[in-house]
Amino acid sequence: MVALLKFSPRRPPPPPLSRSPLAVQGLTVAYGGEPVLREVDFVAPEAALVAVVGPNGAGKSTFLKAVLGLQPRLAGRISCYGHPVERQRRLIAYVPQRSSVDWDFPASALDVVAMGLYRRIGWCRPVGARHREQALACLAQVGMADFARRQIGQLSGGQQQRVFLARALAQDARLYLMDEPFAGVDAATERAIVEVLRSLRQRGRTVLCVHHDLHTAPDYFEHLLLLSGRVVAAGAMAEACTAAALEEAYGVRLPAGGATAVRAG
């Protein structure tokens, strides 16, 4: 023991990976040499709804993409339920920004939701009647059962967002990463999403959600990850969401979880 410590004083063995849904250590991400995220440390609790908040360019979407491996990281360790995140992709569902796909694609709402089942269906096998039923049940959870056969381009923005949400539900994951699901949606969709978030938490799932509306964040989420190129504040909403932290992140004085709606979008 003593000898070991003596001979490797600079390299302590890596600490055991956390068992929590998501544990990020020293994550650094750069676009073309310009660091977007620096030294991010974050641990998401079990069965928690976490708002990922920050000004434009704070690296919120980049953070999600780095966790998913869609964006290469310069440094850092990411673990998911005790294992490196690369080996746990089946436990993670991702709801990308609505603008990230071509909605003219020839598919119905049900076709898109069924994509969430592809891993379970397996390679080279067709989508069966049983899978279509499961997909329909997921659409029903977001109140979209009536639109199952509609081509996705003919849905409103909020309805498209709910289709994406239903697709993530179909994956039956344990960790959900959502990139601005509330962006530009109508009131009905916002209520539907909040309901889904709460039912996910009830079933022990953890959700990280990029969110822009500081006004509603404390109502919908009980945890906060405040980013601005680095972690400005993280933890329980009541403690982390302080006026000082928000001012540091946004560079202007904002009321903390306050009465004024602040839309940084």
Partner 1 sequence: MVAEPAGVSGAEAFLSIDLPALLAALLAALACALPGNFLVLRRQALMGDAMSHVVLPGIVCAYLLAGDILPVAMVAGALGAALLAVALIHLLQRLGGLEPGAAMGVVLTLMFAAGLVLLEQSGASGAHLDVEHALYGNLEGTLWLGPRQWADLLDPASYRSLPRVLGTLALVAAAMVVLAVLFFKELAVTTFDPGFAAGLGISSRAISLGLLGMTALAAVAAFEAVGSIIVIAMFVCPAATARMFTDRLSRQLWLSALFALLAGAGGYWLAAFLPPLLGHPQALNAAGMVGVAAGGMQCAAMLLAPRYGVLPRAWRARWRRRAGTSPEQGRAG
Give dist(CA 132, CA 114) in Å, integer.
7
> Position of tokens 């499961």?
134
Stretch near partner 1 under the rule CB under 8 A, chosen from 27-35, 39-47, 115-123, 215-223: 115-123
**188 touches partner 1 (CB under 8 A):** no
Radius of gyration, alpha carbons of the chain:
20
Shortest distance, position 252 Cβ to partner 1, whole Å: 33
**C-beta of residue 27 within 8 angstroms of C-beta of residue 85:** no
Neighbours of 184 (CB within 10 A): 13
Question: Taking CB under 8 A as the criterion, which residues in 51-90 touch partner 1?
Answer: 65, 68-70, 89-90
Residues 162-181 that bind partner 1 (CB under 8 A): 167, 171
127 binds partner 1 (CB under 8 A): yes
Q: Is 151 in the site for partner 1 (CB under 8 A)?
A: yes
3-state SS assignment for residue 51:
strand
Report in angstroms how near the CB of residue 23 gets to partner 1 at its nearest.
19
Q: How far is CA 233 from CA 60, 113, 115, 135, 141, in A?
A: 13, 35, 36, 38, 33
Toward partner 1, which CB reaches closer, 93 or 217?
93
Residues that bind partner 1 (CB under 8 A): 65, 68-70, 89-90, 92-94, 96, 100-102, 105-108, 111-112, 115, 118-119, 121, 123-127, 151, 154, 167, 171
